[in-house]
Amino acid sequence: MSKKLKILIFPDPKLRTVAKKVEKFDKSLKKLSEDMLFTMYDANGIGLAATQVDRHIRLVVMDLSEDRNEPLVFVNPEYTVAEKHSLVDFEEGCLSIPGFNQNIARPDKIDLTWQDLDGKKHNDAPEGLLNICIQHEIDHLEGKLMVDYISALKRDRVRKRLLKEFNRK
């Protein structure tokens, strides 16, 4: 049975933790990825990084399908920006920053490598939403958030709103 995990909300300082590389491809990794997918589907998200559920390993789950039945798991994902690329603007959202959407410019061409749950290595040059989403999730593994791309003034406004909404008990 999958378990719903608690999603950390900005400005929780734990979201700034840099995640460690996964070395052991065991049952607990598989279980965590299943719980993360369950949590992501429950929250209606399209991507979730382990950092967001306070597990600081390099693990990302995603589902970009219309019918929400094509789960993707990336272990130790890494990318380099392709030499010939341009920046594309896309309006992003984040389960750790509820009610906040922002256009962010990211490279449209990257070379991505990752491992699956068995440790097998893969590589691809993702396009479109997958490209945007994996860059967003890898940011999480580095402790970086969407609000780091906006002005300090705007960031502070988001911080204050979320502190008020989520830390009032």
Q: In terms of CB distance, is 98 or 119 closer to Ni ion?
A: 98
> In the chain, which residue ranges form alpha helices assigned H by DSSP?
27-42, 128-141, 152-166
Tokens of 67: 């019918």
Interaction pattern, residues 71-100, with Ni ion; x per rule: CB under 5 A: -----------------------x------
Based on CB atoms, which residue is closest to Ni ion, 35 or 139? 139
Q: Whole-number minimum distance, CB 18 to Ni ion, in Å? A: 16
- φ, ψ dihedrals at 77, nearest 5°: -70, 140
Q: How far is CA 12 from CA 16, 30, 96, in A?
A: 8, 26, 9
48 or 75: CB nearest Ni ion: 48
**149, 104 Cβ separation under 8 angstroms:** yes
Q: 137 catalytic, yes or no?
A: yes
Contacts to Ni ion by CB under 5 A: 94
User: Catalytic amino acids?
Assistant: 137
